[in-house]
Amino acid sequence: MIWVGWRQQRWETIVAAAILAAIAALLIPTGLSMLSSYNNDGLNSCAGALQGGACDAAARSFIHEFDGIGNLIAWFTLVPGIIGILLAAPFVTDLERGTYRLDWTQGITRRRWIAGKLGIAVVTAIVAAGVFIALVTWWRTPLVRVQGRMDNSVFDSEGIVAIGYALFALGLAAAIGAIWRRTVPALVSAFALYFAVRLFVDTWLRQRLVSPLHATWAVNGRGPSLDKAWILSQVPTDQHGHALSLTVLNCSKAAGATCNTAVPTKGAVQYFQTVYHPPSHFWPLQSVEFALFAGAAALLLGLAALWTARRVA
């Protein structure tokens, strides 16, 4: 069954490899040039040093130099999902064209066929996502030292979550395809759903997966180290961490005697409260998000397998 599965998935494997090769063709040269400019700018010796001065300027110009390509690479986060959906195609095509009837009436049971078919797609998806992560992570190595990797636009291409995305997309397309048995509409709607789920997780859910830290600090004093952190919000507060309302702020600015509030308005804003994920939250966030996507993928693949075994004739 392994040979049959590979043979039926040949075209999809080639396309996935071509996508990864194209990404590599873009990332490897630019990555090398970024690495050399990182070393030449002397940023290497700045790492961990106090902020400010020459290092700060160098870092800023370095980031600026690779901003454009960095924005492009933020879009690459969709690649593992696209590869996952693509790898569901051989499974759905067999159901659509009726060729599963040929395979199922040879000597093996449909259970083994389903397991082999989906198993090969799962392995390929994991390998492809792994290669993708390795490429992007290598490319971003110098940037990570300057910027960190907590930012929403890069978080999802590093660590392990991208493997979860690929598996989730594969499961989604396989489940929709098992029920619908039409390849193109199933894959297109799987991509739409996948995109919607990713958007929801990126913009709303991710920051809530692990409780963020809260820090209230005096403007004049030393705040928490927000270097390379993912800052969710930063608001002016009183010393107890209660957010200041707009009227209070306006009053303090005007230093007006006409303001009639209970809050003392001695001087300008004196405290800030920051809600943030420090860099140490990277792996906890990655693990929880990966578990969510991989768990959903397992459920969807199970649904696809069960539906095919029970309902398809």
Partner 1 sequence: MSDVPVLRTEDLGKRYGSTWALRDCSLEIPAGSITALLGPNGAGKTTLLQLAVGLSRATTGQLEVLGLSPWADQETLLPRVGFVAQERPLHRSFTIAETLKLGRVLNTTWDDDLAVSRIESLGLRLSQTVGKLSGGQQAQVALTLALAKRPDLLLLDEPVASLDPLARREFLGTVMEAVAETGMGVILSSHIVADLERVCDHLVILSHARPLLVGPLDELVACHRLLIGPRTDPATVARVHAVIHESHTDRQSSLMVRANGHVYDTCWEQHEVGLEDVVLAYLGQRHGPAERVLEEAVR
To which residue do tokens 């004196």 refer? 270
Nearer to partner 1 (CB atom), residue 180 or residue 217: 180
Nearer to partner 1 (CB atom), residue 7 or residue 266: 7
CB 180, min distance to partner 1, A: 17
Over its C-alpha atoms, the chain yields an Rg (Å, rounded) of: 25
Secondary structure E strands in 139-253:
213-218, 230-237
Q: Cβ of 4: how many Cβ atoms within 10 Å?
A: 15
Nearer to partner 1 (CB atom), residue 3 or residue 204: 3
CB 29, min distance to partner 1, A: 35
CB 90, min distance to partner 1, A: 10
CB 119, min distance to partner 1, A: 15
Nearer to partner 1 (CB atom), residue 100 or residue 132: 100
CB 95, min distance to partner 1, A: 11
Nearer to partner 1 (CB atom), residue 38 or residue 113: 113
Q: List interacting residues with partner 1 (CB under 8 A).
A: 1, 3-4, 7-8, 11, 97-110, 313
Give me 88's structure tokens: 């569901």
In whole angstroms, give the CA distance from residue 100 to residue 175: 16
CB 98, min distance to partner 1, A: 4
CB 116, min distance to partner 1, A: 10
Nearer to partner 1 (CB atom), residue 146 or residue 178: 178
Helices and strands counted in the chain (H then E): 14, 3
Residue 200 belongs to what H/E stretch?
helix 183-200
In whole angstroms, give the CA distance from residue 154 to residue 76: 10
Please name the residues in contact with 234: beta carbons below 8 A apart, sequence gap of 6 or more.
Answer: 272, 273, 274, 275
Nearer to partner 1 (CB atom), residue 90 or residue 171: 90
Closest residue by Cα to residue 209 from 300, 295, 296, 290: 290
To which residue do tokens 């492809």 refer? 128
The answer to whether 62 and 89 have CB atoms below 8 angstroms apart is no
Give me 239's structure tokens: 């010393």
Nearer to partner 1 (CB atom), residue 9 or residue 157: 9
Distances (CA, A) of 8 to 103, 116, 154: 11, 11, 34
Give me 142's structure tokens: 């110098």
The answer to whether 190 and 172 have CB atoms below 8 angstroms apart is yes
